[in-house]
Chains A and B, each alone.
Chain A
Amino acid sequence: MNNQNNITFVQGNEACVEGAIYAGLNFFAGYPITPSTEIAEHLASRLPQKGGKFIQMEDEIASMAAIIGASLTGNKVMTATSGPGFSLKQEALGYACMAEIPCVIANVQRGGPSTGNPTHVSQGDVNQARWGTHGDHAIIALTASNHQDVFHMTVQAFNLAETYRTPVILLLDEVIGHMREKLVIPEPGELPVVERLRTSVKKGVDYHPYLPREDGRLPMSDFGGEHRYNVTGLFHDMWGFPSNDPKVVSELLRHLVDKIETNVNEIAMYKEYWLDDADYVLISYGSSARSAIHMARNRRARGVKIGVLELQTLWPFPAEMVREKCAGAKAVIVVEMNMGQVVTQVKNAVDNPHTVFLANRVDGELISPSDIKTLLRMIQGKGV
């Protein structure tokens, strides 16, 4: 149960901070960048209050590197950034994929490419979250459309990072990051928190840092503990020993991809509104989902059978779920603030890709319900 003290009125970036603290964050490294800076500012204050560590590094690359180092000593770690910084972090992010090091990267999206539109909203980094670092790999990326969900998804990001030993990207956006609204902070224990899985192998017995258990999970051993092992970004065997043996290379790459892609249904989080009888399905995420939900509610009141599928997991893309939810729809409208990044995934997922349309806005302004309504009326064959 919540008491009055748990109710706050905060920015989305603060909701992310509170979620991270709730999940057990105790090390943050970052570099100032709009519109994510408040995450660093609040953690600079909050982390040392609980004995955690905050460090402002010399650049975005160093921030990503520092959290990986701190994760290896047994800490829950995070960094926060936006477009240009997210680009800079990509090499080290791939290192965390390869070396299987749990960490969370919050990207509060702004307009790009390049310096772009720093103080305005965008959802242009969806595909970068998937393929930003070089080489084949799998990734988890989560998003949220309101502050309660930002809190929840931040906790989930840490949980998934620990469960799958992987970096998890929290794809927020400028509107969510800077908007203020109510947040009720759950009591401890109200939301599940996944702790670091540590090896039970005793001192003197061989510990294999990269030998998965039967359930696929890889127990860790903290740096400074009894087990000394090698961590590398090279392909490596179960000891962490570098290898270019074709069998070792292939098995590791398949493991890195499979551990996430085969669990797509466990990782997939979403919300649905009025989908049961929907002729028209809006698919959206992040701040644009707010406009989609608003517009659908208004149309419902006027008798239009319209519903919303709000994606909270963007990667791995929950294609099967999306196909099922769209099966009975006359038309699907993907609402996003980019030139069409999730719409491509939706077209690949559904049975009738020619019934999938894109309602987008890429001018730095939040897409509005009337922007979406205009497209709906065109699809319905009505006047705009």
Chain B
Amino acid sequence: MTKERFDFKDYIRPRFFPHMWCPGCGHGIVLSSLLRAVHELGLEKNEIVITSGIGCSSRISGYVDFHSLHTIHGRALAFATGVKLSKPSLKAIVPMGDGDALAIGGNHFIHAARRNIDITAIVMNNRIYGMTGGQFSPLSGSGKKATTAPYLTIDREFDIVDLAKSAGATFVARSTVFHAMECKDLLKKAITHKGFSVVEILTQCPTYYGRKNKEGDAIQMMEGYKNNTVKIGSKKLEDNPNLIQRGIFVEKTDVPEYCEAYDRVIQTAMKGKA
């Protein structure tokens, strides 16, 4: 499928650069993985709509040379639902931060999964609100330091994979920015998947999460992704069940995709059976 050698310049908008991410931020690796996935799939830039909300991760939409819709906090999936249902031929990709996707946007996340609408949601999980300066998110977990948790967090965290799975997403995967090629491969599968796909990518925020929680600089945080994660079902889990699993957790093809199901509604209505 690959057309030519990958050159990121073919896919970005130089006008929008330099980007606004901090030195050491993992988000650039997600951007790179996404662009490589699009390249290897041989997709046309005109067939992709990238829709995002608000936050550091959401700035991806402006950086890429696709149709781009940078919306309001938490609602990207709802905007993307309108885009996709009104023009199903488009590929809908939605990069989101953990707060954007699962705090303010949690309702849209579970309902997009329930509908199984053909949208690829990329949850860039850095466990913190970065853009506003380091407040805890629903993915921070308890016992963490944040500007709004000076005495450590007491809130428990979501497991994005479990949440997506139980809400009905038909493709659910997880990786980290340390595993950039794995990210790319998972994104390729997610974009190709017909239905709602969720890819959680652990990505470091050294500025606000790492520093406050003494997890070190970007390199140390990425080493953490290397050492604290394993492929699904790895034997290492027997010794340490707390290791985070990476890979594809759900891949179902027997659930009707929403836009296709609606096409059948149109057929019924046009026959006068409504």
Residue numbers of A with Cβ under 8 A of B are: 27, 29, 45, 48-49, 51, 53, 55, 57-59, 61-63, 65-75, 77, 91-92, 95, 222-226, 228-234, 239, 241-242
Contacts of A73 in B (CB 8 A): 83, 86-87, 90
Contacts of A49 in B (CB 8 A): 269-270, 272, 274
Which DSSP category, helix, strand, loop or mixed, fits chain B's interface?
Answer: helix
Complex: A225 Cα to B265 Cα, angstroms: 26
Q: Is B71 a contact of A233 with CB atoms below 8 Å?
A: yes
Q: Is B79 a contact of A58 with CB atoms below 8 Å?
A: no
10 A-B residue pairings within 8 Å (CB atoms): A48-B265, A49-B269, A65-B71, A67-B82, A69-B79, A72-B83, A73-B87, A224-B67, A231-B70, A233-B71
Q: Is B68 a contact of A65 with CB atoms below 8 Å?
A: no
Nearest 8 Cβ contacts at the A-B interface: A69-B82, A66-B82, A48-B269, A65-B78, A62-B78, A70-B86, A58-B111, A70-B82
Contacts of A57 in B (CB 8 A): 78, 81, 111
Contacts of B269 in A (CB 8 A): 45, 48-49
Interchain CB contact (< 8 A) of A27 among B86, B89, B108, B274: B86
Residue numbers of B with Cβ under 8 A of A are: 13, 15-16, 45-47, 49, 51, 61-62, 65-72, 75, 78-87, 89-90, 107-108, 111, 262, 265-266, 268-270, 272, 274
Complex: A242 Cα to B70 Cα, angstroms: 10
Contacts of A63 in B (CB 8 A): 78
Q: Is B85 a contact of A51 with CB atoms below 8 Å?
A: no
User: In the complex, what's the smallest C-beta–C-beta distance from B121 to chain A, in angstroms?
Assistant: 14
A62-B108, A65-B71, A230-B61 known; A48-B270 Cβ under 8 A:
yes
Q: Is B68 a contact of A55 with CB atoms below 8 Å?
A: no
Contacts of A223 in B (CB 8 A): 49, 67, 69, 83, 87, 90
The chain B residue with its CB closest to the CB of A45 is B274
User: In the complex, what's the smallest C-beta–C-beta distance from B268 to chain A, in angstroms?
Assistant: 8
Q: Is A230 a contact of B70 with CB atoms below 8 Å?
A: yes
User: In the complex, what's the smallest C-beta–C-beta distance from A8 to chain B, in angstroms?
Assistant: 18
Complex: A68 Cα to B67 Cα, angstroms: 14
Q: Is A53 a contact of B86 with CB atoms below 8 Å?
A: yes
A45-B269, A233-B71 known; A61-B78 Cβ under 8 A:
yes
Q: Is B107 a contact of A59 with CB atoms below 8 Å?
A: yes
Q: Is B70 a contact of A65 with CB atoms below 8 Å?
A: no
Interchain CB contact (< 8 A) of A233 among B13, B16, B72, B111: B72
A55-B85, A224-B90 known; A230-B46 Cβ under 8 A:
no
Complex: A225 Cα to B48 Cα, angstroms: 10
Contacts of A71 in B (CB 8 A): 82
Q: Is A224 a contact of B87 with CB atoms below 8 Å?
A: yes
User: In the complex, what's the smallest C-beta–C-beta distance from A76 to chain B, in angstroms?
Assistant: 11
With most chain B CB atoms within 10 A of its CB, the pick from A48, A51, A57, A91 is A48
The chain A residue with its CB closest to the CB of B266 is A48
User: In the complex, what's the smallest C-beta–C-beta distance from B76 to chain A, in angstroms?
Assistant: 8
Complex: A77 Cα to B83 Cα, angstroms: 12
Contacts of A242 in B (CB 8 A): 62, 70
Complex: A277 Cα to B110 Cα, angstroms: 62
Complex: A74 Cα to B82 Cα, angstroms: 11
